[in-house]
């Protein structure tokens, strides 16, 4: 077979069905940038690494790119240019220390939510192992629930999801990490139920009333009339995971009631919200909702890495 190199130097653009990986990536980055993809270089390299079956850090050791793999890459690239989420194309999304299976029908976890999980993890680590009972409301892919169980030894997590399609993704991910979690003495169970009613008498979480140490949630919080800017979110994330009523707080209000019922005195709730639903929103924000409710004390709004309000914590009163 003819060598893919010319004169012993760096591979030419195309020789006998081969193309330089660097040229493939440069072209991909230009096309992704023209399509408005916010991270063209990262996306191009991750797709190439996926096609070549290598870690991203070893990608440039693979130069040149054979024709069959270049064609597979082109198929992925065309869909990404059309703003199909990168995570859907790769079939997975990283979240803290775990890797989640994701695809159509489930909300893709965001980096900001890693901070929300981190706050719940810190609260659980401060407790004796016997008290580490947690509930993840609106679990989606199971990201927060599994992160808690993977990073905190001996924690029992109940993950609640109302949407059947999303609940299937959560179960798939929980099963993937079941052995690892079990070794550390923990567990994750996924319950298909409404986060605003699951702790009612006779409900699937009724046995946990007054026992949970932490309730964490990343609920739908986009107001119904708001236009979501990113096509990846607007066209591919489930509407049920995005929209939370006229002011975006309908699900949050109900989930706060559920958290109050589930938590024991001194337990902590952790609630993700939009950057417009923090302290500055007053009674129209999540901290405001909690401060006027006698069931809660020590209400604190927290900023994300971009210094925007992102989540609120509060402690259940006696």
One DSSP character per residue, 100-164 reads: EE--TTSPPP-HHHHHHHHHHHHHHHTS-GGG-EEEEES-TTTHHHHHHHHHSTT-EEEEEES-H
Q: How far apart are CA 107 and CA 85, in angstroms?
A: 11
Sequence-separated (6 or more) residues with CB below 8 Å from residue 177 = 98, 146, 149, 150, 188
Statement to judge: residues 101 and 62 lie in one domain:
no
Query: Is 2 within a domain?
Result: no
Match 């793999």 to its residue by tokens.
69
Percent of the chain residues past pLDDT 90, beyond the cut:
85
As a whole number of angstroms, the distance between CA 200 and CA 78 comes to 48
User: Do 75 and 184 have their domain in common?
Assistant: no
The pLDDT value recorded for residue 64 is 76
Segments of the chain with pLDDT less than 50: 1-16
DSSP state of 3: -
Helix (H, G, I), strand (E, B) or coil at 271: strand
Q: Give the domain-ending residue among 23, 58, 82.
A: 82
Same domain, 223 and 285: yes
Report the CATH number at residue 181. 3.40.50.150
What pTM was estimated for this model as a whole? 0.88
- Same domain for 60 and 184, yes or no, is no
Query: Of 16, 89, 102, which is closest to residue 51 (Cα–Cα)?
Result: 89
Residue 106 and residue 73 share a domain: no
Give how far Cα 286 sits from Cα of 8, 168, 210, 244, 251, Å.
Answer: 64, 29, 22, 13, 11
Residues 170 and 291 in one domain: yes
Asked if residue 131 and residue 238 are part of one domain, the reply reads yes
Rounded-to-integer distance, Cα 12 and Cα 64, Å: 9
Supply the range of the domain harboring residue 18: 14-82
Alpha-carbon gap, residue 29 to 34, rounded angstroms: 9
**Which residues sit opposite 296 in a β-bridge?**
316
Final residue before a domain boundary, out of 53, 82, 111: 82
Q: Which of 306, 195, 278, 205 has the alpha carbon at shortest distance from 244?
A: 195
C-alpha span between 169 and 106 (Å, rounded) = 7
**Total tally of structural domains belonging to the chain:** 2
Sign of CA dihedral 194, 200, 205, 211: positive
**What ranges make up the beta strands (E) of 124-262?**
133-137, 156-161, 187-192, 212-217
**C-beta separation of 173 from 101 below 8 A:** yes
**Residue 59 falls within a domain, yes or no?**
yes
pLDDT in tens, 91-144: 999 999 999 999 999 999 999 999 999 999 999 999 999 999 999 999 999 999
């Amino acid at each position: 077979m003819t060598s893919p190199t010319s004169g012993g130097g760096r591979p030419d653009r195309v020789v006998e069905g081969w193309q330089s990986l660097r040229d493939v990536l440069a072209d991909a980055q230009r096309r992704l940038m023209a399509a408005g993809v916010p991270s063209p270089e990262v996306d191009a390299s991750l797709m190439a690494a996926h096609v070549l079956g290598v870690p991203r850090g070893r990608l440039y050791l693979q130069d040149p790119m054979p024709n069959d793999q270049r064609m597979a890459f082109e198929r992925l690239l065309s869909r990404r240019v059309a703003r199909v989420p990168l995570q859907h194309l790769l079939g997975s999304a990283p979240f803290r220390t775990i890797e989640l299976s994701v695809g159509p029908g489930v909300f893709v976890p965001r980096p900001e939510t890693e901070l929300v999980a981190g706050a719940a993890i810190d609260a659980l680590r401060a407790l004796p192992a016997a008290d580490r009972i947690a509930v993840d409301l609106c679990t989606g892919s199971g990201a927060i629930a599994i992160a808690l169980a993977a990073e905190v030894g001996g924690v029992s997590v109940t993950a609640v999801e109302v949407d059947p399609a999303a609940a299937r993704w959560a179960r798939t991910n929980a099963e993937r990490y079941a052995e690892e979690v079990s070794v550390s003495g923990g567990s994750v169970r996924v319950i298909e139920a409404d986060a605003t009613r699951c702790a009612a008498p006779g409900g699937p979480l009724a046995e946990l009333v007054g026992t949970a140490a932490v309730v964490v949630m990343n609920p739908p919080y986009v107001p119904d009339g708001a236009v979501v800017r990113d096509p990846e979110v607007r066209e591919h994330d489930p509407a049920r995971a995005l929209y939370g009523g006229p002011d975006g707080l309908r699900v949050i209000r109900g989930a706060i009631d559920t958290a109050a019922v589930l938590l024991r005195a001194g337990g902590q709730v952790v609630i993700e919200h939009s950057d417009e639903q923090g302290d500055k929103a007053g009674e129209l924000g999540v901290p405001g909702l909690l401060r006027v409710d006698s069931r809660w004390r020590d209400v604190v709004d927290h900023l994300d890495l971009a210094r925007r309000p992102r989540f609120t914590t509060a402690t259940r009163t006696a």
